[in-house]
Every structure is written in C-alpha cells, then in structure tokens.
Amino acid sequence: MITAVRDAWIVTQDPQRRIIRGDVVIENEKITSVGGRYGGSADTDIDASGDIVMPGLINTHTHVAMSVMRGAADDISFPNFIDRVFRIDSERTDRDIEIGTKIGCAEMIRSGTTTFVDLYYSEDVIARATAEAGIRGVLCWCVLDDELTTQRGSPMQNCKRFCESFRNRRKIIPGVGLQGVYVCGEDTCKGAKEFSDEKDIPLTFHLSETRGEVNDLKKKTGRRPAEWLSDIGVLGKRSIAAHSSWLTMNEVKLMAAAGISVSSCPVSNMKLATGGVAPIPEFQRYGVNVTVGTDGSTTNNSLDMISEMKILGLLQKSSRWDPTVASAQELMDFATVNASIAIGMQDLLGSIEVGKYADLVILDGKSPNIRPLLPENMVSNIIYSASPANVKTVICQGDTVLRDGKIKTVDEEDILSMSEDMWGSLCRR
C-alpha cells in the first residue's frame, strides 16, 4: 500500500531542521521518500499543495480516560480538587473509561497528536480503545502502595499483568506509572524501576508538582523528591518526570546525570495554581531532555498540544523576562524529536525521514491565521498562530486516522452522544 502526500511544505525536523517543498511517500507503515516529485503511482494520493506536513506531535503526559470528566473539578482549591477527582476515579466503570479514552483520542487526533504517554489504572481498557482510535499509546499502569490504592489487588501486580498481556501489540507500548512520592514508598518505587529495567519499558511519574509534595517528603526523609529518588536509584534514562516545577539546581543536575526526561505541563500547573515554573533553560543547560504534556482533562482541560507548546513558551518568556528563551524551534523540538527520545523511539518517530514510521500531520496552508507562509516563518507560525482548526489530515504509522477533517476510526457522533449522561452519573454528586 503506497500513499503519496504531494506538493507540501515539509517541516522535516531532521537533524538539519530542513523545510523543503515536495512529496512524502509512504509504503505501508514507513516513509520511503521525502522531498522532490514522486513519479510513481500510489494507492492513495493526498493533494497537499501549499499545505504544511509536519511530524505527529507526542504528548508525554496525560490521563486520557479522564476526558469524560471534563469540567468536573474546576475553580476549586488543590486539596478539594484532589479529593473530588480521587473520589470520582474510585467509582469509574470500564465503559466510561473506554468512552473517555475514545473522546480523548479523537480530541488528540484533531489537534495533531499521534502518540501519547498515559498514566492511569485500567490501562487494558484504555489500550483497546486506543487501538480502535488508531493512534499510539505509551500506557503506563498506575502503581502506588498497596494500602493506599482503590484498585482491586496489588497495583504493581496489576501493572505486570497488563504489561505482559499487551506486549508486542501494534501501536501499544505498555509501561509503569508511579503515582508520586506522596503515595509511593521506597519499596514501591524500587520495584517499579526494577520492572521497567527488566522489561526495558518506560517508567513515568509525577514529580515535584506542588510545594506541599516537596515539603512533606522533606519532613519525612530529609530529602527533596528528585534527591530521594536519585538516592534510591529510581531515576534513569527510561524515566519521564511529569511537571517537575519545584526543583533546585542540585536536583536538575541529578536528573541530568541520570539521563531522565521531563514532561512540562504548564497549563495544568497554572490552572491548579500550584505555583512554580519548570526550569526549562536550566534543564537544557545541564542536559535534561525536555518534552511537553497536557496532563488530563480535569486539570487542563484540553488535550491540545498545539496550544500547549505556545503556552509553555509564553510562560517561560514571561517568567524570565526574556523573549529569547524557549524559541519556536525549541518548542517544536520538545513535542517531536525530544519526545521521541523520552519514549525510546527516536529511531522511528519525531521527524519526517526515510525509514521512520509515517506519523504525519497536514495543516491547511490556505488558512489566514498562518499566512503569509514561508520557510523563514513556518515553525513560528505553527507554534504561535496555528490551532486544531488547521489540522486537515493525520496519519499514524501509515494509517490515515483523519482525512480532510473527518475521523476515519471511531464514530465521533456515537461516543459524544454518551458523554453527558456519563458525566452526570460520575460527577453530579
């Protein structure tokens, strides 16, 4: 099966960050040609004349199934938010998790995301729904101390069963998700890291999201969260630390030495008013791999990576009084090349190059909000001017999941028709 995307502006994100005009040719799952004019025949031709083709975005921290809970815990204090969300979480059914996942995947497809890193329980349900939606899920089962969970059975054993059951599934990458140091003791953290190392799978966790989290652990152990995790050997190259807002330079250096990635979630942190701003320039200076996450639909309340990239940049510039930090190109890198490194798939994702998976997003180059459109301003226009309304077509691992604004996988009308009743049964209490 050959697909030819013809006559586009191609934002390659290759090592030279080239922007070229021409065709992208896909054979089955992978890219076989980039640039120039493809003279051969194709099973599917996509006319992208004057449009932008860019790599699929990678959302490195979310809780996709919470999409059906959107608006359930807004404008309340952080402790009240936690109590309300944890109560709703404990009462969820497989059916509403499935529908929440499909709604979230549809939203991500429409905003140009082809891969997401999830941290939740019931990842088996989420995996099946994600596979149906047709995008890639790095699905990390939530692990915490047995005595603190609402899961049936041991979270660590649940995680292991999930990872064994869903290994080698197409577009599904199972992983381990530590909830955070506030509910994960030393044995739990070490066990999660050991399993991640043994199976060579991702490990993600919330880290230093709030000042209270930091202070509570310091009172308990005498160490700040990143210091403590470093001391017990949990930080490593497979690790993705979400939020990472309340850190010292010593912690940043420890994280860099461990080869860790961070997922900055600026909208979630600002909406919850947890304070702190992720030290992005220092991460870059010391070699911490920076990526972008939306967090879930109860804290953002959007899964739109296009706006998240822009807001991350604006927050960094504003808080530093420096318009040169977090440039448009760096923001694009965070959501593509860097994110592919974070999930260990840099040889297959993150750029438009021959031999990589065909994870492509086509933006409407005729839209007034991103014109005038030239190679010199193209990345800036994507970061600062584009929106999900510009997304025309999305391809994930060679599969067209959105074509000319219509989702080709899940039945949007059907899943959305259930959402209000589900919200009412979960959240009106």
pLDDT digits (tens, 9 = 90+) for 183-234: 999 999 999 999 999 999 999 999 999 999 999 999 999 999 999 999 999 9
Q: What is the largest CA-CA distance in the chain?
A: 67
Distance CA 55, CA 159 (A): 31
Calculate mean pLDDT across residues 21-32: 98
Residue 429 — pLDDT band, cuts 50, 70, 90?
Answer: low
Distance CA 198, CA 190 (A): 12
Give the pLDDT score at 72: 92
Calculate mean pLDDT across residues 95-104: 96
Indicate whether 428 pLDDT > 90: no
pLDDT digits (tens, 9 = 90+) for 275-333: 999 999 999 999 999 999 999 999 999 999 999 999 999 999 999 999 999 999 999 99
Give the pLDDT score at 150: 84
Distance CA 187, CA 281 (A): 33
Give the closest residue to 270 by CA, choosing from 78, 31, 428.
Answer: 78
Residue 91 — pLDDT band, cuts 50, 70, 90?
Answer: confident
Higher pLDDT, 149 or 177: 177
DSSP 3: E
* Number of neighbours of residue 405 by Cβ within 10 angstroms: 11
Give the pLDDT score at 87: 87
Residue labelled with tokens 């490194």: 341
Residue 148 — pLDDT band, cuts 50, 70, 90?
Answer: confident
Residue 89 — pLDDT band, cuts 50, 70, 90?
Answer: confident
**Six-digit token string for 359:** 């994870």
Distance CA 162, CA 243 (A): 25
User: What's the whole-number average pLDDT of the chain?
Assistant: 96
Contacts within 8 Å (CB) and 24+ apart, 415-421: 415/99, 415/102, 415/103, 415/106, 416/103, 418/99, 419/68, 419/99, 419/103
* Number of neighbours of residue 171 by Cβ within 10 angstroms: 20
Indicate whether 38 pLDDT > 80: yes
CATH architecture of the domain covering 57-342: Alpha-Beta Barrel (3.20)
Indicate whether 127 pLDDT > 90: yes
- Break the chain into its structural domains and give their ranges: 2-55+356-409, 57-342
CATH architecture of the domain covering 2-55+356-409: Roll (2.30)
DSSP 72: S
Residue 149 — pLDDT band, cuts 50, 70, 90?
Answer: confident
pLDDT > 70 in the chain, percent:
100
What is the pTM for the complete model shown? 0.97
Give the pLDDT score at 297: 94
